[in-house]
């Protein structure tokens, strides 16, 4: 569809943004559903965030995603925030409804959808989450909201693991402990092991947050990282015959929930998967 005076504009606000895959996903989805919409990126520094949000309203930009480092800070500039986003303490999707900016978090739903795709049950299981930053919080909240039995949050900085574990325990009344990431090496049995640290992300592709010995003890392993597709952590899982999944499906699923909030429709995931794989390989 040709861009014209009726084209609705969407985008991604963050810094840096030039390597984002979101424009590939959303523009392909808009085209495949014949919607007169486009998606681009807006590289916004923290000092300019408030002005950028005012600009969204003035220019009638219909919606946007939010990425690092603005997912938490953006909240104070929005008019309404969903309950889920409040619990996670971060917004990754904003809808402009006639000048009212509504903030949502689709990362949590995206994570759960990707577990469903991997045919992993959550209810009644015990999870070990590596990392205690923003991504870890979205994962912990989504597991807590979806019936996980218990969790251990393991982090290099133990104080951050403690704060997150205490929040999860208080807010969701579930069994949630914490430890140093080194202590994970001593654990004997793990139902679900999730890497929500940035260890192993391109270009440090040889690094893993825990040893192969730990990975081999897990029943299911998940890495939020999607670049590279197969991190060192996931290679350990593969080598030991452990079921695993990567962050690529979470990326597509969170995008699909954002797309639904903006357009009222989901896109066809399989088509977008194929398009994205072609685009980046
Ligand atoms: P995100 O929004 O992706 O979660 P973040 O909030 O910066 O990003 O969190 C990064 C996570 O990766 C943190 O848990 C961090 O551990 P610390 O809290 O101890 O910094 C973890 N991380 C980053 N580099 C690490 C490393 N080299 N070893 C262990 N953990 C690391």
For residue 201, what are the β-bridge partners?
none
How far away, in angstroms, is 209 Cα from ligand 1 center?
10
What pTM does this model have? 0.92
Binding residues for NADP(+): 83, 131-135, 224, 247
- Least-confidence region, from 29-33, 58-62, 272-276: 272-276
Sequence-separated (6 or more) residues with CB below 8 Å from residue 58:
none
Report CA torsion sign: 156, 162, 168, 171.
negative
Catalytic residues: 71
Nearest CA to ligand 1 atom 3: 135
Question: What beta strand segments (E) does 118-239 contain?
Answer: 126-130, 150-155, 175-180, 190-195, 218-223
The pLDDT value given to residue 280:
65
How would you classify residue 176: left for phi > 0, otherwise alpha for psi between -120 and 50, otherwise beta? beta
Distance between CA atoms of residues 165 and 140, nearest Å: 9
In sequence order, the 6+-apart residues with CB closer than 8 A to the CB of 108 are 84, 88, 138, 139, 141, 142, 145
Ligand 1 binding pocket mutation candidate from 133, 205, 225, 231 (most atoms within 8 A of CB): 133
Percent of the chain at pLDDT > 70 equals 99
> What is the helix, strand, coil percentage profile of the chain, to 5?
45, 20, 35
> How confident is the model over 94-109, as a mean pLDDT?
97
Q: In this predicted structure, what is the pLDDT of residue 232?
A: 98
Q: Is it the case that residue 91 has pLDDT exceeding 90?
A: yes
Average pLDDT, integer, range 174-203:
95
Q: What is the pLDDT of residue 94?
A: 98
Q: Which domains does the chain have, with CATH numbers?
A: 8-105+250-280 (3.40.50.10860), 108-241 (3.40.50.720)
* Residue whose CA lies nearest to ligand 1 atom number 14: 131
Q: How far is the CA of 144 from the centre of ligand 1 (A)?
A: 21
- Phi, psi dihedral angles at 14 (to 5 degrees): -175, -175
User: Among 152, 158, 138, 240, which Cα is nearest to 190's?
Assistant: 152
Q: Before 203, cis peptide (omega within 30)?
A: yes
What is the 179 CA–ligand 1 centroid distance (Å)? 14
pLDDT of residue 1: 74
ipTM of the complex: 0.98
**Per-residue pLDDT, 188:** 87
Please classify residue 146 by burial: count the beta carbons closer than 10 Å to its beta carbon, then call 0-12 exposed, 13-18 middle and 19+ buried: middle
In the predicted model, is pLDDT for residue 169 greater than 90? yes
Q: How many CB atoms lie within 10 A of CB 32?
A: 13
For the record, the structure tokens of 48 come out as 């300019």
Residue 193's Cβ-count burial label (10 Å; 0-12, 13-18, 19+) is buried
Mean pLDDT score across all residues of the chain: 95
Q: How far apart are CA 54 and CA 1, in angstroms?
A: 29
């Amino acid at each position: 569809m040709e861009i014209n005076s009726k084209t609705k504009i969407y985008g991604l606000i963050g810094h840096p943004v030039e390597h984002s895959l979101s424009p590939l996903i959303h523009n392909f989805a808009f085209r495949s559903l014949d919607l007169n919409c486009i998606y681009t990126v807006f590289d916004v520094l923290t000092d300019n965030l408030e002005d950028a949000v005012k600009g969204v309203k003035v220019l009638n930009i219909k919606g946007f995603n939010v990425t690092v480092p603005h997912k938490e800070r953006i909240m104070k500039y929005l008019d309404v925030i969903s309950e889920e986003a409040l619990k996670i303490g971060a917004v990754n999707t904003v809808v402009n409804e006639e000048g009212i900016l509504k903030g949502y978090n689709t990362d949590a739903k995206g994570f759960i959808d990707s577990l469903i795709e991997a045919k992993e049950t959550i209810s009644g299981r015990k999870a070990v989450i590596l990392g205690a930053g923003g991504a870890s919080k979205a994962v912990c909240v989504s597991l807590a909201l979806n019936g996980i039995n218990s969790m251990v949050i393991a982090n290099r900085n133990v104080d951050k693991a403690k704060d997150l574990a205490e929040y999860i325990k208080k807010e969701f009344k579930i069994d949630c402990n914490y430890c140093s990431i080194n202590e994970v090496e001593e654990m004997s049995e793990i139902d679900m092991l999730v890497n929500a640290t940035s260890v192993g992300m391109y270009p440090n592709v040889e690094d893993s947050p825990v040893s192969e010995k730990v990975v081999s003890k897990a029943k299911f392993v998940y890495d939020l990282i999607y670049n590279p597709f197969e991190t060192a952590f996931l290679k350990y899982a593969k080598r030991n015959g452990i079921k695993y999944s990567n962050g690529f499906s979470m990326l597509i699923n969170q995008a699909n929930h954002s797309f639904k909030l903006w357009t009222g429709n989901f896109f066809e995931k399989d088509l977008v998967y194929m398009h994205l794989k072609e685009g980046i390989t």
